Copies of this chain bind each other. A is one copy, B any other.
Amino acid sequence: MIMAKVIGNVWATRKDDALNGLKFLAVKPMDYCKEGDAPTFIAADIVGAGIGETVLVTKGSSARKVLGKDGIPIDAAIVGIIDMVEVEKAYPE
């Protein structure tokens, strides 16, 4: 999984029927050890995340597991809100 910041909302009226009712958010990956330059992407949100929150994102086929059925064409899902990451002082960078 990765840690990411929610940066925006995504609207798509015309889409695959299986995606109806899902909320899509734009997220930016975060990295503790360097200036993050990983590209932003879009994830389905199932925990009610808001703009600016730090979230736990699962990618790939595992993202489809969040909704209890395997047939939805999503490849990224916000599966948690991260409260804190405690990094040892010996590994700041």
Using CB atoms and an 8 Å cutoff, list the residues of chain A in contact with chain B.
Answer: 1-3, 5, 7-16, 18-19, 24, 26, 28-29, 31-34, 36-44, 46-48, 51-52, 56, 58-66, 68, 70-77, 79-88, 90-91
Dominant secondary structure at the A interface: mixed
Expressed in whole angstroms, the Cα–Cα distance for A18 and B65 within the complex equals: 9
Check A2 against B32 for contact (C-beta < 8 Å).
Answer: no
- Given A47-B14, A56-B24, A80-B14, verify A88-B1 contact (CB < 8 Å): no
Residues on the B chain within 8 Å of A29, using CB = 39
The complex is assembled from copies of this chain, and their number is 5
B91 and A5 form a contact (CB under 8 A): yes
Contacts of A73 in B (CB 8 A): 58, 62-63, 65-66, 77, 79
